[in-house]
Each structure stands twice: as C-alpha cells, then as structure tokens.
C-alpha cells in the first residue's frame, strides 16, 4: 500500500561549506528552517532526522554513509535537499548516490528545483565544474593572502595570535629557546623530551587546551623535531608548502621548497638566526653520520616502534608494520600499515581469492593518544578494578575445582593401570584366553588414553591459572610504569595480548564471538571502524576505541 506524505519518514539534509566560494548567502540554520517549512507545507510531517553538515565539502560523499545504511535498512522514505548542489559537487559520486537511493526506494526532493532523473546527470556535471572553478579561485585568493603576509594559520607553540600577527608567548617561548640551546649542546631529541617531561612542562597540545590535550601528556621526540625544524621561530613566515591533489580530494602533497612562500622578518623572532643555523648544521651532520653508519640503507628505528608484534590488521589478521614518515622529498606522518597490503597492494579478487588488503593506516601519534586515553580510562574505571579482582577470585575458585579433578583423575588412572598390569599377568599365566585379553586390553587402552588426556588438560588449565593468579599485580604494575615512564613496549606487552585495527563494515559475526564482544562494542566497530584492545585476563575482554 502506497504511503501518504504524512506517513513517509523524512530526512532533511542541510550542507554548507567554505568551498562554496561566496555562495553561502544564508546561514545553515536558515537553510534548515526553510526545508522544515517546505516539508510541512507539502504534508511531510514525519521528520525522523535533520542532518546539519556545516563546513563539509560537496566533493566528500563519505558524509552520506549513515544515510545509505538507513536506506538499506528501510528506515527512511524521503530525503529533502535545498538543491542539487547541496547534495554534492562530484558528478560520479552524486550519480552513484542517487542511483543507490532509487534502488532502495527512497524519494529525492529538491526544495528550489525540480528533481528530474534524466536531467540530474547534467546538473551534477555543472555542479562539479562549479566546484573545480571555485577551488581554483580559493587557491588563488589564499596564495594572494599568503604573499601579502596575512596569517592564515593558528599560532604555533611559543606564540599567540593577535589579529593577523604572531606575538611571543612569555610562558612557552622560553621552552622553545631551551630546546634549541640543549640540542646545540649535543642533546638528542628523546633526551630533550624526557627532560621536559621530568620538569612537568605542558606539551604543545596542553598549552593550547586542545581537545586531545589529556591524551598527549608526554613530550615525545617528534615534538622536539617539529620545533627544531620550524624556521618560523626566527621570525619568518612560511606558507604554501602543501597543496591538494585535486579539488575532489582532501589529500595533500608537499610542494618543493622553491615553491613555498617565505616572508622574512614577518614577526618577532624567538630564536636568533645564528643559533637556528647551528642547530640545522648539527642535525644535517648527524643524519649524514647515521646514513653512513647504515651504509646508505634506512633501517626502521626502535624509537616509538612500540607496537611491533602487538598491532594487527582486522581484515587479514596480518601484523602491521611501522612506516617512516619521510620518503625522499615527501614528508608524511609516521604510521603503521597492514603488512599484506604493503606486500600485495589493494584487493584484487581477479588474481586470486583473498589477494591484497586495505591499508588500515593509523598514525603513530594518534595510536599513542588512543592507547594513553584507554589506559587513563582503565585507571579511573572502578569497574575495571572490580573486574580484575573478580577474575582473581574466579581463578582461586577454579584452582580448587581443578586440583580436586586432578586428584580424582590420578586415582582413576592409577586404578586402570593396575588393571592393565593384571590382565597381562593373567594372560601370561594362562588364566584368560587370548580373545578375552585382546578385548580387555582394547577397552583399557581407550579408558587410559581418555584419562591421560583429561589429566593433561586439567594440568594445563591449572598451570595457566597459576600464571594468571599473578596477573592482577602485573597488570597494575604495567599501568603504573606506563604512567610513570611513558609508553614502552615491555609494559604494553604485559598489558595487551594484541591490538587490532578494523576498518568500517569489516568485522564479522564470527569475530564478534571469537573476540568476546558485546553488541555495543560490535556495532561500534562495524559501523565506524576502530581499535580493539585484547587485555591479558583469564576471560578475554575486548574494548573498542574509535580511530582518530
């Protein structure tokens, strides 16, 4: 039976983006109110959701993943946009999205233009052309602002932003100066980071009260490297060092240094040029010596390579390996990648079944943040402590039961072995005939084999319980050491069996049971992807954490 407009379940979708280049003549709230008014005027009163995608690019169609899931699950009947440009500015993606909605029986409505299935492809093409032109205009304007010296970025550590100018922060600037002085005296990156941690100096994120400040409690070598590498500390403004691969992509690439925009004496310097140049010469010399020592080969260093043997791909189960951020002239963050993806590349089922994988890429700095946040949560979670204590009690109870079972198994086995000896003696003394001996022997062989396997199984369980009985102390000791000394591989290995990285829509029902996930954890991993931590407890517990 056909639904009336009143019965149809409606989603209102609003989008506004800086990429619209001057087209934002109305606030997104105004767009929402307009669409609500339109729905009511046409009898669409069953509005189940209003989506407000503020500052979202029209070329990014991952924003529709949730809507597609709802359409697939038959949870919506109508989706209302202001116009086709609000839907998106990528012709290929827009056509695929519209086709998917039509396959699921979802009606598409544009408030200020008629939706026409045959003409939509043409509208999508015009919208994409507009996005390409807008992108060029935006880049041209940004370039002009950079060349004029307008500050288009946030203040870096050591500075505050006053209008369009950088002004020195009297609390953090001395830290920058000390970092340069220590390095010029032959201190290493990690040694400086350890020194700053011992002094209790807030990290750059903490000093700015960023949302992830609680997760980045410790200075790391990479913090020091970034500061030593930044010529803005000598008063120069540096811009235009990256650019988008295309107007459809959020990915960027590093530009050659000769294409950067550098404005000297743009703001007050924290570091004098002599000290800055001295530090750069020391860094270049150390790098040259390191390359010479390694005979020209770049080896994976052990610094921050904490997750080797612990981090696994959720799709193929292979270990993930550390990829250094610098590759030739290209700079990118240090990260972990799926080993199978690295060896074989993307999935190609036409070559063979299970060929290739997806990157499952996760930045090391993000992984450190997630692990630190997870450990913080364990410490503050009374349920976690109770969980460990309950496990210890369960271990003690199970030990008593197993010890009793072992005693019984030994007694039964001893009795059977005595019977075995007796039938041999009876056979030798011609007390029982050959056929009876064979029957009795076969029967006793089965019983003895069964009891031996049972005895070994219970003994193995008891051995494991003896090891697990000490885990309460080991677990809390590992957490205490991590909070005191920072993330170290030894403590992580004592705390986790493994850490698994899942992409969206990847984890299976079989893995849910295997990893002992409850419904909430499973749904979180399936819908959003994320990281699963396997703690070293008697009863496996997996906690999920969304990827950053």
* Residue 184: predicted pLDDT: 92
Within-domain flag for 108: yes
The SS3 of residue 431 is coil
The answer on pLDDT for 270 being more than 50 is yes
pLDDT digits (tens, 9 = 90+) for 481-510: 777 777 777 778 777 888 899 998 888 888
* Residue 540: predicted pLDDT: 44
The answer on pLDDT for 21 being more than 50 is no
The SS3 of residue 11 is strand
Greatest extent of the chain over all pairs of C-alpha atoms, in Å: 112
Within-domain flag for 503: no
* Residue 460: predicted pLDDT: 78
DSSP state of 199: T
* Residue 313: predicted pLDDT: 92
Structural domains in the chain (count): 3
Clarify whether residues 34 and 119 are in a common domain.
Answer: yes
Clarify whether residues 221 and 123 are in a common domain.
Answer: no
CATH number of the domain where residue 221 is located: 3.90.1750.20
Within-domain flag for 257: yes
Half-sphere exposure of 184 (CA within 13 A, CB side): 15
Main-chain dihedrals φ then ψ at residue 85, nearest 5 degrees? -70, -30
Clarify whether residues 74 and 96 are in a common domain.
Answer: yes
Picking from 313, 310, 309, the residue whose alpha carbon sits closest to that of residue 362 is 313
> Cβ(94)–Cβ(124) under 8 Å?
yes
Q: 500, exposed or middle or buried, with CB in 10 Å at 0-12, 13-18, 19+?
A: buried
* Residue 471: predicted pLDDT: 55
pLDDT digits (tens, 9 = 90+) for 403-431: 888 888 888 888 888 887 788 777 777 77
Clarify whether residues 115 and 203 are in a common domain.
Answer: no
Clarify whether residues 107 and 167 are in a common domain.
Answer: no
Highest mean pLDDT among 152-166, 221-235, 468-482 belongs to: 221-235
Tell which wins on pLDDT, 369 or 353. 369
Report the DSSP beta bridge partners of residue 499: 311, 533
Within-domain flag for 522: no
Residue 271: give the domain boundaries: 159-293
Clarify whether residues 118 and 195 are in a common domain.
Answer: no
The set of residues, in sequence order, having a beta carbon less than 8 Å from that of 414 and lying 6+ positions away, is: none
Within-domain flag for 304: no
Within-domain flag for 57: yes
Within-domain flag for 186: yes
Confidence category of residue 261, pLDDT binned at 50, 70, 90? low
Q: What is the mean pLDDT of the chain?
A: 76
* Residue 290: predicted pLDDT: 54
Highest mean pLDDT among 18-22, 82-86, 210-214, 426-430 belongs to: 82-86
Per-residue pLDDT averaged across 97-101, rounded?
A: 87
Domain final position from 445, 472, 499: 472
The set of residues, in sequence order, having a beta carbon less than 8 Å from that of 188 and lying 6+ positions away, is: 221
Per-residue pLDDT averaged across 449-454, rounded?
A: 84
Clarify whether residues 20 and 114 are in a common domain.
Answer: yes
Clarify whether residues 180 and 278 are in a common domain.
Answer: yes
> Cβ(225)–Cβ(189) under 8 Å?
yes
> Cβ(346)–Cβ(354) under 8 Å?
no
* pLDDT over 90, % of the chain: 14
CA 108, CA 312: separation in Å to the nearest integer? 42
Half-sphere exposure of 198 (CA within 13 A, CB side): 6
Q: 507, exposed or middle or buried, with CB in 10 Å at 0-12, 13-18, 19+?
A: buried
Domain final position from 237, 270, 293: 293
Tell which wins on pLDDT, 225 or 518. 225
Clarify whether residues 55 and 165 are in a common domain.
Answer: no
Clarify whether residues 135 and 233 are in a common domain.
Answer: no
* Residue 507: predicted pLDDT: 87
The answer on pLDDT for 514 being more than 80 is no
CA 397, CA 400: separation in Å to the nearest integer? 5
* Residue 10: predicted pLDDT: 94
* Residue 389: predicted pLDDT: 56
CATH number of the domain where residue 116 is located: 3.40.50.1390
Clarify whether residues 121 and 184 are in a common domain.
Answer: no
Confidence category of residue 125, pLDDT binned at 50, 70, 90? low
> Cβ(65)–Cβ(101) under 8 Å?
no
Within-domain flag for 502: no
* Residue 482: predicted pLDDT: 74
The SS3 of residue 80 is strand
* Residue 46: predicted pLDDT: 92
DSSP state of 240: -
pTM value is 0.35
How distant is the alpha carbon of residue 94 from its chain centre? 28
Clarify whether residues 111 and 140 are in a common domain.
Answer: yes
> Cβ(506)–Cβ(314) under 8 Å?
yes
* pLDDT over 70, % of the chain: 70
> Cβ(121)–Cβ(88) under 8 Å?
no
Q: List, as one string, the DSSP characters of 199-266.
A: TTPPPHHHHTT-TTGGG--S--HHHHHHHHT-GGGGT-EEE--EEES-TT---EEEPPGGGSEEETT-
pLDDT digits (tens, 9 = 90+) for 196-251: 888 888 888 888 764 444 444 678 888 899 899 888 899 887 765 665 544 444 55
**Among the ranges given (116-120, 291-295, 360-364), the one the predictor scored with the smallest mean pLDDT:** 291-295
Tell which wins on pLDDT, 92 or 34. 34
Domain final position from 293, 327, 345: 293
Picking from 42, 43, 93, 34, the residue whose alpha carbon sits closest to that of residue 65 is 93
> Cβ(343)–Cβ(322) under 8 Å?
no
């Amino acid at each position: 039976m056909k639904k009336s407009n009143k019965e149809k379940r409606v989603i209102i979708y609003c989008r506004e983006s800086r990429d619209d280049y001057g087209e934002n003549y109305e606030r997104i709230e105004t767009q929402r109110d307009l669409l609500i008014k339109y729905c009511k005027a046409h009898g669409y009163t069953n509005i189940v959701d209003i989506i407000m995608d503020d500052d979202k690019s029209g070329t990014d169609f991952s924003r529709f993943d949730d809507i597609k899931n709802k359409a697939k699950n038959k949870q919506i009947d109508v989706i209302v946009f202001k116009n086709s440009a609000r839907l998106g500015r990528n012709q290929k993606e827009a056509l695929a999205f519209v086709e998917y909605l039509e396959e699921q029986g979802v009606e598409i409505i544009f408030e200020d233009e008629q939706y026409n299935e045959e003409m939509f492809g043409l509208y999508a093409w015009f919208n994409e052309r507009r996005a390409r032109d807008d992108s060029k205009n935006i880049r041209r304007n940004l370039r002009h602002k950079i060349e004029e010296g307008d500050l288009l970025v946030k203040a870096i550590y050591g500075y505050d932003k006053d209008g369009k100018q950088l002004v020195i922060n009297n609390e953090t600037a001395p830290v920058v100066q000390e970092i340069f002085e220590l390095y010029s005296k032959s201190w290493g990156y990690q040694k400086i980071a350890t020194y700053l941690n011992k002094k209790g100096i807030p990290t750059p994120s903490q000093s700015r009260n960023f949302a992830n400040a609680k997760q980045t409690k410790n200075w790391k070598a990479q913090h020091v490297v970034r500061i030593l590498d930044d010529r803005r500390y000598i008063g120069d403004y540096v811009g235009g060092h990256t650019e988008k691969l295309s107007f459809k992509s959020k990915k960027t690439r590093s530009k050659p240094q000769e294409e950067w925009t550098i404005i000297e004496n743009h703001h007050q310097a924290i570091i004098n040029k002599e000290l800055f140049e001295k530090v750069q010469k020391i860094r270049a010399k150390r790098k040259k010596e390191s390359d010479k020592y390694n005979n020209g080969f770049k080896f994976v260093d052990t610094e921050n390579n904490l997750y080797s043997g612990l981090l696994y791909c959720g799709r193929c189960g292979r270990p993930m390996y550390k990829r250094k951020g610098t590759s030739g002239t290209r700079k990118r963050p240090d990260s972990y990648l799926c080993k199978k993806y690295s060896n074989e590349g993307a999935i190609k089922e036409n070559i063979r079944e299970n060929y290739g994988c997806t990157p499952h890429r996760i930045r090391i700095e993000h992984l450190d943040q997630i692990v630190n946040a997870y450990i913080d949560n364990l410490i503050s979670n009374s349920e976690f402590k109770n969980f460990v204590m309950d496990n210890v009690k369960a271990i003690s109870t199970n030990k008593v039961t197993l010890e009793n079972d072992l005693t019984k198994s030994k007694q039964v086995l001893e009795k059977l072995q005595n019977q075995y000896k007796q039938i041999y003696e009876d056979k030798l003394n011609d007390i029982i005939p050959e056929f009876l001996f064979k029957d009795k022997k076969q029967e006793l062989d089965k019983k003895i084999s069964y009891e031996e396997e049972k005895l070994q199984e219970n003994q193995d369980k008891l051995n494991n319980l003896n090891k697990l009985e000490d885990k309460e102390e080991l677990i809390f000791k590992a957490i205490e050491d991590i909070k005191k000394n920072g993330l170290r591989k030894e403590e992580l290995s004592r705390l986790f069996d493994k850490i698994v990285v899942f992409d969206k829509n990847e984890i299976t029902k079989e893995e849910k049971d295997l990893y002992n996930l409850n419904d909430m954890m499973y749904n979180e991993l399936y819908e959003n992807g994320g990281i699963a931590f396997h703690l070293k407890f008697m009863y496996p517990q997996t906690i999920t954490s969304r990827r950053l």
